């Protein structure tokens, strides 16, 4: 029989002392450095917050592959990828400011609350100095706000809604990915050239924030060139069969269907539209056409042959021939056996941009990083000359207009680049009505 000397009070006291002891170095370091999660002398931790479960898990897996590759390259392993083509040349493959780069991962589940919880855990428990990732604008906006409060830099992953760098922008948040406005501005001239100015469009729009901003952007851009919008219908995000929404389209007077859908919605609505014979149909004496404003290769694969001949836009594509894209595709393809997605590309680039900003600033202090990233001009990362605009923390670069390939040679060869829209054509003033409301505020170093 043992004599148990533990008491509840004793355990509580010991626990509190131990917790305080464990937290003390972090607290002292924060006090000393003046910002949250100042790294130790040997290692710096980055937090990769991606959807590892849920509907965008495949996209999240590709993002994680890209992050792991970026960490390898930052630590001087592998072939260096885009470090060799990046115009800054501040990174030498020796970690960040002499510290080896480590990382922790979180699962956003593509749910805002889960994403915030995993980001908070990585910040508070793992000491992550920067959070990056995500495959949804809802998640990006939620995590960006959390990072602002916590004094952590947020480098957004795949988020396309205008609001991320519009009404919900934050000083600690940065987006490399393009947005709904840019899709509309890039697509409209191509659509005009292909289908003419006398067109009547019918919009099916996913009933959430990204859908609204995309519909507004495409509608505004196409109406400006003479198209008429005959109807806009919101579809529930949970909808799987779009037949009842698509069946009335042919008889509505429209001759173009714009599918403001992404992910599973896009796959299903496009498949349904093709099944209903819209591609072969005639309306108003013209061939009926379908447009998908935001394309993703991973999603296009789900829709199969339905994407053939359909226009859309994308942030980046592995078939680009510039040195940066080629270097990234070579690194990624050699390591994983297939080309990277646009989600992988933006995540890889964001990690490099953060590391570069810290190196140029000579500090991990978020405010120093913000200063280094604001109005930073760079090249060699796959999108041509790019500006990280200081007013809204949005990257301005060329946008790709793509078309589903008629005869793909393999499962990756689904999209062909129709036009590289120059950055000037997709640039807008920071106070543009589609981005109205909200304020960047000031950077928060936390601590």
Partner 1 sequence: MDQFILQILNGLDKGSAYALIALGLTLIFGTLGVVNFAHGALFMLGAFVAVTMSNLLTLSHKVVDETRTDFLGNPLQVDVPYLYDFFGQAAGDTIIDWAVPISILVAIPIMVGIGFAMERGLIKYFYKRPHADQILVTFGLAIVIQEIVKYFYGANPIPTPAPEAFVGSFDFGVVLGFDPNAIIYPYWRLVYFFFSVVVIGAVFAFLQFTTFGMVVRAGMADRETVGILGIDIDKRFTIMFGIAAAVAGLAGVMYAPINSPNYHMGMDFLVLSFVVVVVGGMGSLPGAVAAGFMLGILESFASMSAVIDLLPGINQIIIYLVAIIILLTRPRGLMGRKGVMEE
User: Residues in the site for partner 1, rule: CB under 8 A?
Assistant: 54-58, 231, 233-234, 236, 238, 240-241, 243-245, 247-248, 250-251, 264, 267-268, 271-272, 275-277, 280-283, 298-299, 301-306, 318-319, 329-330, 333-334, 338-339, 409-410, 412
Helix or strand holding residue 232 (H, E): strand 228-235
CA distance 105 to 178: 24
Least distance to partner 1, CB of residue 191, Å: 22
Structure-derived torsion over alpha carbons of residues 127, 129, 133, 137, reported in degrees to the nearest 10: 100
The nearer residue to partner 1, 301 or 360, going by C-beta atoms, is 301
Estimate the crossing angle of helix 180-195 against helix 209-224, to 10 degrees.
Answer: 40
CB atoms within 10 A of CB 193: 12
Least distance to partner 1, CB of residue 365, Å: 38
| CB of 387 closer than 8 Å to CB of 396 | yes
Strands of 108-187 (E only): list them: 130-133, 153-156, 173-175
**Residue 387 CB burial class (10 angstroms; 0-12, 13-18, ≥19):** middle
| CB of 127 closer than 8 Å to CB of 119 | no
CA distance 419 to 379: 19
The nearer residue to partner 1, 412 or 428, going by C-beta atoms, is 412
CB atoms within 10 A of CB 113: 11
Least distance to partner 1, CB of residue 362, Å: 37
Least distance to partner 1, CB of residue 279, Å: 10
Least distance to partner 1, CB of residue 196, Å: 20
| CB of 242 closer than 8 Å to CB of 204 | yes
Least distance to partner 1, CB of residue 72, Å: 18
Least distance to partner 1, CB of residue 264, Å: 6
C-alpha separations of 177 from 65, 137, 383, 396 in Å: 18, 11, 10, 9
The nearer residue to partner 1, 185 or 270, going by C-beta atoms, is 270
The nearer residue to partner 1, 62 or 168, going by C-beta atoms, is 62
The nearer residue to partner 1, 59 or 356, going by C-beta atoms, is 59
The nearer residue to partner 1, 131 or 254, going by C-beta atoms, is 254
Least distance to partner 1, CB of residue 316, Å: 14
CA distance 155 to 164: 11
The nearer residue to partner 1, 195 or 288, going by C-beta atoms, is 288
Least distance to partner 1, CB of residue 280, Å: 7
The nearer residue to partner 1, 62 or 392, going by C-beta atoms, is 62
The nearer residue to partner 1, 216 or 255, going by C-beta atoms, is 255
Closest by Cα among 140, 152, 220, 212 to 176: 140
The nearer residue to partner 1, 129 or 257, going by C-beta atoms, is 257
* Residues in CB range of 189: below 8 A, 6 or more apart: 225, 421, 425
CA distance 235 to 238: 8
Least distance to partner 1, CB of residue 142, Å: 21
Least distance to partner 1, CB of residue 85, Å: 17
* Residues in CB range of 86: below 8 A, 6 or more apart: 324, 352, 356, 378, 380, 381
The nearer residue to partner 1, 280 or 431, going by C-beta atoms, is 280
């Amino acid at each position: 029989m043992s004599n148990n000397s533990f008491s509840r009070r004793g355990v509580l006291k010991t626990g509190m002392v131990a917790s305080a002891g464990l937290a003390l170095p972090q607290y002292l370091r924060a006090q000393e450095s003046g910002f949250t999660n100042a790294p130790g002398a040997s290692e710096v931790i980055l937090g990769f917050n991606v959807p590892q479960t849920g509907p965008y898990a495949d996209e999240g897996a590709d993002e994680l592959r890209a992050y792991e590759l970026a960490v390898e390259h930052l630590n001087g392993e592998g072939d260096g990828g885009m470090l060799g083509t990046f115009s800054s040349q501040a990174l030498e493959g020796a970690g960040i400011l002499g510290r080896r780069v480590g990382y922790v991962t979180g699962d956003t589940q593509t749910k805002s609350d889960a994403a915030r919880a995993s980001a908070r855990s990585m910040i508070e428990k793992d000491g992550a100095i920067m959070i990056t990732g995500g495959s949804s604008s809802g998640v990006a906006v939620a995590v960006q706000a959390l990072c602002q409060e916590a004094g952590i830099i947020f480098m957004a992953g795949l988020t396309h809604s205008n609001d991320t760098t519009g009404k919900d922008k934050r000083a600690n948040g940065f987006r490399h990915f393009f947005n709904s406005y840019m899709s509309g501005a890039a697509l409209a001239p191509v659509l005009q050239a292909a289908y003419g100015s006398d067109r009547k469009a019918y919009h099916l729009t996913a009933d959430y924030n990204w859908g609204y901003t995309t519909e507004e952007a495409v509608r505004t851009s196409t109406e400006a060139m003479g198209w008429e919008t005959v109807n806009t219908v919101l579809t529930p995000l949970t909808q799987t069969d779009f037949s009842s929404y698509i069946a009335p389209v042919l008889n509505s007077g429209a001759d173009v269907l714009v599918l403001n859908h992404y992910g599973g919605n896009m796959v299903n609505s496009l498949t349904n539209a093709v099944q209903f014979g819209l591609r072969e149909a005639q309306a108003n004496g013209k061939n009926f056409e379908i447009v998908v404003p935001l394309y993703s290769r991973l999603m296009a694969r789900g829709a199969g042959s339905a994407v053939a001949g359909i226009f859309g836009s994308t942030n980046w594509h592995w078939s680009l021939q510039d040195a940066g894209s080629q270097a990234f595709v070579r690194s990624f393809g050699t390591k994983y056996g297939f080309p990277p997605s646009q989600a992988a590309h933006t995540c890889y680039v964001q990690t490099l941009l953060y590391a570069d900003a810290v190196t140029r600033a000579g500090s991990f202090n978020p405010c120093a990083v913000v200063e280094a990233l604001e109005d930073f001009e760079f090249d060699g990362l796959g999108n041509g000359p790019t500006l990280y605009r200081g007013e809204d923390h949005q990257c301005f670069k060329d946008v790709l207009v793509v078309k589903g390939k008629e005869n793909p040679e393999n499962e990756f060869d689904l999209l062909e680049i129709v036009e590289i829209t120059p950055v000037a054509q997709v640039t807008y003033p920071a106070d543009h009505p589609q981005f109205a409301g909200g304020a960047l505020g000031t950077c928060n170093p936390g601590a």
